[in-house]
Amino acid sequence: MTAELERLRRQVRELAEEWRAAGRYRPACDAWLRGHDPQFSAELARRGWIGITWPRELGGAARSHTARLVITEELLRAGAPVAAHWIADRQIGPAILRYGTPELQREFLPRIAAGEVTFCLGMSEPEAGSDLAAVRTRAVRDGDGWRISGRKIWTSHAHRATHAYVLARTEQTERRHQGLTEFVVDMRAEGVSVSPIVDLAGEHHFNEVVFDDVYVPGRWVIGTVGDGWRQVTSQLAYERGGPERVLSTYPLLAALLRDGRRRRDEGALAAVGRLVARLAALRRMCWDIAHAMDRGQAPVRQAAALKYLGTEFERDVTETARDLVAAPPDLHGDELQRLLAQAILAGPGFTIRGGSSEVLLSIVAKEEVGR
């Protein structure tokens, strides 16, 4: 790693520790999805750490994807509250940069980088499961714009986001992967309603969103009308290929290594050693994906493989902690108990969000067959 990246890593680590020491957050598992703090995101924006890979004229810093990886690794290791800007920085901004018109780029990218615009993801729908091609939300032309009607579910932070990314069907075709289009939707627009979905921990970050004849200006189409499937499958490399698929439970793993109640027999040491070795290999995969993105590639297969293996790893971190520490999970207990409880409650979603394990294996297999 270059001296420049080492310096950046140190700066991010120092910021996270400063906020933690001041009591402004407690390290949490799954913090990139559940830890929502606009003030923390605003501080990252002030330092130029949101949209860091984007061109300077669009609010970015024109730095590498490896630089972004350094930032995200340190924030995830710290369990810092990054959910406010995460989706826009990780996924929607790059999609707009790759497929959006210059007008759309100028309208949104500087405001995302400044922390002023935040996004939620309108992909999943009721009764569709992980089958993204089963989209039934419709968009019909209305003059120079579009009218969107439909329902999206499991939409994290829709009640807080300023805008939504919405995948909608703009044409009914025999092949359901065709006729899909990507849109930007203002969450304050008339016809948008948000209903909370409270999870097992009693927390509210999931939502169901209904779009009832919502008007969207034509300039807010991302890319080509009807080409949404090709675009979104490329975009999912950004969603699946990041360290959040590996480090969501890192605060628990770190607490497990520190905690004096951990079993220290030979079997326990071997179990922890296996986790650390797997983490090193998964981090190497993250770096390979970041290098591929720096070369202008969309590493769909590599990202799917990382997400699949990361899901297995994060599940095993949780199960190993349950096995090696005689401390019951408790959201109101000490640090280890709290982190263990968070990981257990978040665990069922690991194999679904970003694509189920079966979908990911299918992507890897199809890519291999097609080579």
List, for residues 152-182, the tens digit of each pLDDT value.
Answer: 999 999 999 999 999 999 998 878 789 999 9
Q: Rounded to an integer, what distance in angstroms lies between the CA atom of residue 77 and that of residue 244?
A: 10
Q: Name residue, tokens 């079993």.
A: 263
pTM: 0.91
Phi, psi of 24 (to 5 degrees): -85, -10
pLDDT digits (tens, 9 = 90+) for 280-290: 999 999 999 99
The string of DSSP letters for 153-165 reads ES-TTTTT-SEEE
* pLDDT > 70 fraction of the chain, expressed in percent and rounded: 97
Q: Domains in the chain, start-ordered, CATH in brackets?
A: 3-117 (1.10.540.10), 120-227 (2.40.110.10), 241-370 (1.20.140.10)
Q: Rounded to an integer, what distance in angstroms lies between the CA atom of residue 177 and that of residue 231?
A: 11
pLDDT digits (tens, 9 = 90+) for 339-364: 999 999 988 888 777 777 777 777 77
pLDDT digits (tens, 9 = 90+) for 20-54: 999 999 999 999 999 999 999 999 999 999 999 99
For residue 348, the model assigns a pLDDT of 82
Structure tokens at 15: 């910021």
Model confidence band, residue 238 (pLDDT cutoffs 50, 70, 90): confident
For residue 171, the model assigns a pLDDT of 92
The identity of residue 3, as a single letter, is A
For residue 103, the model assigns a pLDDT of 98
Cβ atoms within 10 Å of 179's Cβ, excluding its own = 19
Q: Rounded to an integer, what distance in angstroms lies between the CA atom of residue 277 and that of residue 256?
A: 15
- Say whether pLDDT at 191 is over 80: yes
Which of the pair, 249 or 365, is modelled with greater confidence? Answer: 249
Structure tokens at 174: 């025999």
For residue 351, the model assigns a pLDDT of 75
Phi, psi of 221 (to 5 degrees): -75, 135
**Which one is catalytic: 239, 244, 266, 319?**
239
Q: Rounded to an integer, what distance in angstroms lies between the CA atom of residue 233 and that of residue 359?
A: 12
CA distances from 173 to 37, 54, 115, 177, 227 (A): 42, 36, 39, 8, 12
For residue 368, the model assigns a pLDDT of 55
In the residue annotation, 17 being an active-site residue is answered as no
Mean pLDDT score, 261-272: 87
Q: Rounded to an integer, what distance in angstroms lies between the CA atom of residue 179 and that of residue 126?
A: 20
Mean pLDDT score, 119-140: 87
- Say whether pLDDT at 190 is over 70: yes
Q: Rounded to an integer, what distance in angstroms lies between the CA atom of residue 80 and that of residue 366?
A: 36
* Alpha helix (H) residue ranges in 199-248: 228-240, 244-247
- Say whether pLDDT at 370 is over 60: no
For residue 249, the model assigns a pLDDT of 96
Cβ atoms within 10 Å of 94's Cβ, excluding its own = 24
Mean pLDDT of the chain: 92
- Say whether pLDDT at 236 is over 80: no
* Among 143, 149, 159, residue whose Cα is nearest residue 219: 143
